Structure 1
Amino acid sequence: MAPTPHVKGTVPFGEHRTWYRVTGRTGAGRPALVVVHGGPGSTHDYLLPLARLADDGWPVVHYDQLGNGGSTHLPGKDTGFWTVELFEAELANLIRELGIGDDYVLFGQSWGGPLCARHAMTGPPGLRGLVIANAPASYPIWLTEMARLRAALPPDVQRTLLRHEAAGTYDSDEYHAAMRVFYDRHVCRLTPWPRDFLSSFMEIYNDPTVYYAMNGPTEFHVIGSLKDWSIVGELHRISTPTLLISGRYDEATPAVVQPYHDEIPGARWEIFEESSHLPHLEEPERFFAVLTEFLKSL
């Protein structure tokens, strides 16, 4: 169970509200760690274990991105509303509203990774470090790797996926069961799935507005606004000390993560041999050792 937050609430973001929680006290010595969740369309819940870093002096900020969790839901917005720029602006606004812009570290997981990378490209003077975990830098590369991983699934699972995709019945129990085979291999290899991960998973299911608009109906079908999105050509602009994290069985395969390592000067890459997409849950002891070492190095 995550430590009790010292403060939680919402901050204004235009006409809307961004929900946040802070564990530990900001401005007390060490930089705040801002945790940016994946999706797009997930919530902070599955990343709550990072709050334990507050016990060692790093205040930890979690938040739910607009359209999700405790932040303003906007199911009536058309797909054109949900842009990368919107979420970049929300992250910058949160940092400003919480008054931590002079001393902070970003931790971006999955979709949160390229979002944090884009923020780092602006050269914020108070950004001390950047952690990009299990994240794509190019959705065209992501799609190529998804196809490769899918092709390795059992033939009966592939037939079930194809049958329901042809019929458009993505919400059927049979399709979900077939997708679960992929998830158990490449997203979370723990049995049963941890409660916090289930919470985030169900949040997407309950309000898929953002996920459908930016991603699409499944991990295999990125047909939303991110379909052709890539930041590979911009990564050289990042000068912040950077740690890359991925799992050996990760849906964010080495080919997906490689551009960050190639293009960000001095980026360090740690691969977790017993993990897929969630090393902080699958190998927590090593994960926190690696992350703490990086934070101390800053």
Structure 2
Amino acid sequence: MLTCYYGIKGRNLTIQLPWRDLPYMVVGDISNTSRTPLVALHGGPGLLQSSIFPLSDLASFPSPIPVIFYDQIGNAHSTHLDDKPESFWTIDFFIDELTLLISMDTRGAVCLLLSSPFTKDTPASRKLQHQALMRCMQSIPEEVQLVLKKQGGKIDTSNKEYNKAAAYFCKQFGTRYADPMLEALAYSLRHEDHLVVLNAMLKGKINSDWDVTDKLHLIRVLTLLLNEKYNFIGDELCSTFFCNINKVKWVQFAQSSHVPHWEERERYMEVVKSFLVE
């Protein structure tokens, strides 16, 4: 079924499994192209595909690259499993879901991982991420710091005081400009679904001890590393990837904070396209 969602025209499909459904959207023609399709993974964990819709631009270039979006399990249009214990939500489970999607419809697609407006730029260590976050916290007003620290890292959208403080922080380190199209990103953040998955993952597999630094050398393919000048996760975290991955290209977006695919959309797409067609 062809639909138009936030101005993005795509074909909506669903992989039906015995106990859950995996809906996804294809933008562009994956059956008649010389380009390998790109599967775009939203972050969070627990956000929505709408948060990364600008990647659909790749399908409209003169040499189009088809893009496949999907809502990971537990979010938006996928099957919700709010009653599952924290132990259910594992990294391997999400990898299996991605593998299933690729095997069904995408001809060995390339994958691009985009983390959410809370965890990007995909730090290799939660400890390093926390240190970077604390440095940024010290640069904002003390009263805002106190509200955020009082939450202990827990997201509570029902708390007006917290929402105001979080909005201030995000304005500095999340997205630094307003644009009508950012409603697609705001829509993703407003969904309460993501809190179930996010909080379960942070308490479980991606806890304070999570660290994959010693596994980065196992990445043997050419890797594109992206970060932003004003992101709360700075160069020191990205350097962990740069120094430990054998083949890596590092690009920084000088005018962006956390969502360069919105903030510097045109340059972002050119960088990604250039990397994919190399």
**Distance in 2, Cα, partners of 1:272 & 1:294:** 15
Would the alpha carbon gap of residues 272 and 17 (structure 1) be closer, same or farther in structure 2, given more than 3 Å must change? same
Q: What is the letter of the counterpart of residue 146 of structure 2?
A: R
State whether residues 147 and 165 of structure 2, in contact with CA within 8 Å, keep that contact through their aligned partners in structure 1: yes
State the alpha-carbon separation in 1 of the partners of residues 7 and 233 from structure 2: 26
1:213/1:224 contact within 8 Å kept: yes
Retained in 2: the 8 A contact 1:13–1:93?
no
Q: Aligned-pair distance for 1:167?
A: 11
- Which of 61, 70, 78 in structure 2 is aligned with 1:63? 70
Matched with 1:136 is 123
Alignment-derived partner of residue 209 in structure 1: 196
Distance in structure 2 (CA, Å) of the matches to 1:184 and 1:285: 21
1:11 match:
15
- Superposition RMSD on alpha carbons, in Å? 2.4
Aligned counterpart, 2:258: 277
The 3 A distance-change label for structure 1 pair 3 and 278 is same
Note if contact 1:2-1:49 (Cα within 8 Å) is conserved in structure 2.
no
Contact 1:2/1:51 (CA < 8 Å) preserved in 2?
A: no
Shift of 1:192: 5.2
**Inter-partner Cα distance in structure 2 for 1:202 and 1:288:** 26
Structure 1 equivalent of residue 211 of structure 2: 230
Q: 1:202 to 1:166 in 2, by over 3 A?
A: closer
Note the 1:28-39 alignment, pairs <5 A: 28-39=33-44
Deviation at 1:111, TM superposition (A): 6.1
Q: Cα distance, 1:84 vs. partner?
A: 0.7
Paired residue secondary structure (2:9)? coil
How big is the shift at 1:293? 1.4
In structure 1, C-alpha distance between the alignment counterparts of 2:105 and 2:268, rounded to whole Å: 27
Answer yes or no: is 1:256 the counterpart of 2:237. Answer: yes
CA distance in 2, matches of 1:38, 1:63: 11
Distance verdict in 2 for CA 1:4–1:166, change over 3 Å: closer
Distance (whole Å) between structure 1 residues aligned to residue 70 and residue 23 of structure 2: 6
Query: 2:116 & 2:170 partners in 1: Cα distance?
Result: 16
1:149 to 124, 131, 136: 136
Which residue of 1 is the match for residue 271 of structure 2?
290
The residue number in structure 2 matching 1:48 is: 53
Q: Which amino acid aligns with 2:205?
A: S
Query: Does 2:8 match 1:21?
Result: no
C-alpha spacing 1:148/1:96, structure 2 compared with 1 (3 Å): same
Secondary structure at 1:75's aligned position in 2? coil
Partner Cα distance (2:89, 2:234) in 1:
26
Q: Residues 281 and 263 (structure 1 numbering): CA distance in 2 closer, same or farther, change over 3 Å?
A: same
1:41 maps to amino acid: G
Matched pairs, number: 267
Long gaps (5+) in structure 2: 1-5
TM-superposition CA deviations, 1:182-226 (whole Å, max 9, x none) = 1111111122571111011012x35521011013xxxxxxx4431
Report which stretch shifted further, 161-170 or 88-97.
161-170
- What is the TM-score normalised by the length of structure 2? 0.88
Letter in 2 for 1:82: W
Q: Which amino acid aligns with 1:11?
A: I
Other-structure match for 2:246: 265
Change (3 A) 1:99 1:273: closer
Secondary structure of residue in 2 paired with 1:107 = strand
SS at the partner of 1:34? strand
Query: Which deviations, in whole Å up to 9, do the C-alpha atoms of 1:26-45 show, x marking residues without a partner?
Result: 14210001100110011110
Counterparts of residues 104-143 of structure 1 (less than 5 Å): 104-110=109-115, 134-143=121-130
Give the corresponding residue for 2:165. Answer: 178
Name the structure 2 match of 1:119.
none
TM-score by length of 1: 0.83
**Could you say if the C-alpha distance between residues 284 and 266 of structure 1 is closer, same or farther in structure 2, counting changes exceeding 3 Å?**
same
Does the Cα contact within 8 Å between 1:164 and 1:170 map onto a contact in 2?
Answer: no
Kept in 2: contact 1:2–1:48 (CA 8 A): no
The 1:87/1:108 distance shift into structure 2, 3 A limit, reads same
The Cα of 1:171 is off from its aligned counterpart by 3.2
